[in-house]
Amino acid sequence: MSSVSRRAGLPARIVMLATLAIYGVPGLFMVMTSLRTNSEVYAKAFDFHFRPTLKAYQAVGDYDVTAAVWSSVRITGLTTLLVLALGVPAAYALARMVGRLRSVGLASLILLQLLPASTLVIPLYQVLRSLGLLGSVQGVIFACTAYYLPFAVILLRPFFLGVPVDIENAALIDGASRARIFWQIVLPLARNGVVTVGVLVAMIVWGDFLFALTLLVNPSDYPLSTLLAQQVSDFGINWPRLMALAIVAAAPIVALFLAMERRLSAGLSVGGVK
């Protein structure tokens, strides 16, 4: 039985090792590049024998990284809260819909999710200009919320489908209101899904580049994603500084993923089943 189990688990191990190589090797070279000088990178990019230096990380301090980090935190945090505040009740309503209304609602969300972000930049630009929010961090937050809300609702719906309707019916018979049933019964049962979707939205918004670049005017409001893009210019690329800044930008989101890994695994397994 043990040999059969080992043979059954072999494909999973192969996939795991392949995934580790696909993501781990570029990560290793990113760290190595950040610890070199620019001349060493161009001379011997794949040489493992070099003297590490922290000059690239010291050069990162020349930028106003604190302002960029704070801008990224504001955009990511407030967008995630808004997406969950709107997406959780919308997903619950969609999960309890029946018939043609459910099909139309789900199809509409899928179509909205399929729209590329680039097609929404001009309409959002005009809407934010009319609201007086163009060039502000608040405008980027609203734009990101509008774009990622369908994605969140689609992901949240299976978690609410996993909550038995019989529990709600029993609470209704006992005299509980719909609002009380949602807040005290349904939402606690679906909390893993809410946390999972919240973390996924935060990870995506943290790396958002298009809305911040097109809707912000003041460079002091730029998040880390836009600051990274500024490292590429017509005069060349300082690869160690770029990689060092990329590691600084990726560190918070990697820490968030590691902290929420168990909840993410539990939540994604439930969502995958439904």
CA Rg value for the chain: 23
Contact of 91 with 153, CB cutoff 8 Å: yes
Residue 185 to residue 183: CA distance in whole angstroms: 6
| Tokens 């609201």 belong to residue | 131
Contact of 72 with 144, CB cutoff 8 Å: no
| Tokens 């500024």 belong to residue | 230
Residue 100 to residue 102: CA distance in whole angstroms: 5
Q: What is the mean pLDDT of each run of 10 residues along the chain (274 residues)?
A: 55 81 82 84 74 82 80 94 95 85 84 86 90 91 94 91 88 86 89 90 91 87 85 75 87 84 65 47
130: left (phi over 0), alpha (psi -120 to 50) or beta: alpha
State residue 179's pLDDT score. Answer: 87
Cβ-based neighbours of 93, under 8 Å, separated by 6 or more: none
One-letter amino acid at 220 equals S
Q: pTM (2 decimals)?
A: 0.83
State residue 248's pLDDT score. Answer: 87
Burial environment of residue 249 by CB neighbours within 10 A (0 to 12, 13 to 18, 19 or more): buried
State residue 139's pLDDT score. Answer: 93
Three-class secondary structure of residue 135 per DSSP: strand
CB atoms within 10 A of CB 229: 14
State residue 27's pLDDT score. Answer: 83
Contact of 95 with 160, CB cutoff 8 Å: yes
Cβ-based neighbours of 193, under 8 Å, separated by 6 or more: 155, 156, 158, 159, 160, 162, 267, 270, 271
In the chain the beta strands, taken as DSSP E runs, fall at: 232-233, 236-237
Q: Phi and psi of 135, rounded to 5°?
A: 85, 5
